[in-house]
Amino acid sequence: MKQLWAPWRMSYLRGESHAPESGCIFCVGNSTEEDRSRGILRRGEHAFVIMNKYPYTNGHLMVTPYRHLSEIGDLTHEEGLEIHRLLVLCRKILGDHLSPQGFNIGMNLGEAAGAGIADHIHLHIVPRWCGDTNFMPVFNDIRIIPQHLEETYDQLLRAFSEIKF
Ligand SMILES: [Zn+2]
């Protein structure tokens, strides 16, 4: 297995650079020009799928609404429904293409709950493999990413483009 360090995650975890200076990473606007550099994999009408650039494991995706909001109760019915549909799509694609043995799916609401970007809610989909946590106590928040981010992006982008939503 090819292994690659993700040392950039360290500064992220220390809270130094979790959002670009220009603002919220989830406020992406309508232009698709920067979708690749942002890691956007699929745009829906109300929400979209974006790859986590500081992944917990390889293939760590997030689903988030276009609207900048922090309260889950403020989601419209349409937003909530599409977030759920995108979640199911992510789970299928990750299952088909990365063959994980399990998933963690959830939201961290508020900084106290571990939300890196608390102001714009997002749903994490983290594929898991048995033994993928073994390194964590040793390296203390630096995780080993077995596949380069861009390689994973290309692989998943192809998968998203081939599947009907
Ligand atoms: Zn935002």
Q: Which of 10-19, 78-87, 108-117 has the lowest mean pLDDT?
A: 10-19
Cα of 135 to ligand 1 centre, how many Å?
Answer: 32
Where are the domains positioned within the chain? 4-10+38-162
Encode pLDDT of 123-140 as tens digits. 999 999 988 865 444 444
Cα of 120 to ligand 1 centre, how many Å?
Answer: 5
Q: Which of 43-52, 67-76, 141-150 has the lowest mean pLDDT?
A: 141-150
* Catalytic site includes residue 97: no
Q: Which residues contact 82 (CB under 8 A, 6 or more apart)?
A: 44, 45, 46, 47
Encode pLDDT of 8-44 as tens digits. 444 444 444 444 445 899 999 999 999 999 999 999 9
CATH of domain 4-10+38-162: 3.30.428.10
Which ranges of 54-165 would DSSP assign to H, the alpha helix?
77-98, 136-139, 149-162
Q: What is the mean pLDDT of the chain?
A: 83
pTM summary value: 0.80
